Amino acid sequence: MSKRKCVFLDRDGVLNEDRSDYLYRLEDLVIPDGVTEALQLLKNAGYLLIVITNQAGIAKGLYDPEAVYAIHQKMQEASGNALDDIYFSPYHPQYSGNSLSRKPGSLLLEKAIAKYKIDPDQSWMIGDRDRDMEAGQKVGLKTIHIIPKTEISAGDFAAINLLAAAWIILENQN
């Protein structure tokens, strides 16, 4: 079986608007314009779409894993079930100790790569934080940093939003 190509996606700040506190209530979920279109473009180009997200609010006792799954399900409905899987780290160093699953650790990426037989050379990580770029780079992914144009990117590429990132991927396929 040949290896598959994948786009790994951070959640908050990429698939939904980031909040100053934690997103765990469905009524607080805001999916920016262009996200659904971007996911469909990538899916139509043959990419697996896997969410890799830190969810420290679980370690802090603010919400439980079911809240993460409920938000994910709502994103699935909004995107026409484009997302193939979600991996999340429920840890925070100050509350539950260190974990390699928490980005910038790459354990969740490594698990997904093994499970889905993903080729890192054909795959990407899209995130809005330096830790997303670092995690992706550790496993050999090309990275796209979602940041305002005025900031310095830690990624291989920079984009203003997910739709711009999708076009970068489509223009730079192996």
Average pLDDT in the 121-147 region?
97
| CATH number, domain 6-171, options 3.40.50.1000, 1.20.1110.10, 3.40.50.720, 3.40.50.2000 | 3.40.50.1000
pLDDT tens per residue across span 50-80: 999 999 999 999 999 999 999 999 999 999 9
pTM over 0.75: yes
Q: How far apart are the first and last CA of the chain?
A: 18
- For residue 144, name the pLDDT band (cuts at 50, 70, 90): very high
Cα dihedral sign, 35-39-45-48: positive
What number of residues does the chain have? 174
* Residues carrying an active site annotation: 10, 12
Does the structure show a pLDDT above 70 at 33? yes
Q: What percent of the chain has pLDDT over 70?
A: 99
- Cα–chain center distance at 79: 14
Per-residue tokens: 50: 């896997």
Instruction: Look at residue 97 in the predicted model and tell me its pLDDT.
Output: 85
- The phi and psi torsions of 125 (rounded to 5 degrees) equal -125, 130
**Half-sphere CA count of 78, side-chain side, radius 13 A:** 20
Does the structure show a pLDDT above 80 at 174? no
Domain locations along the chain: 6-171
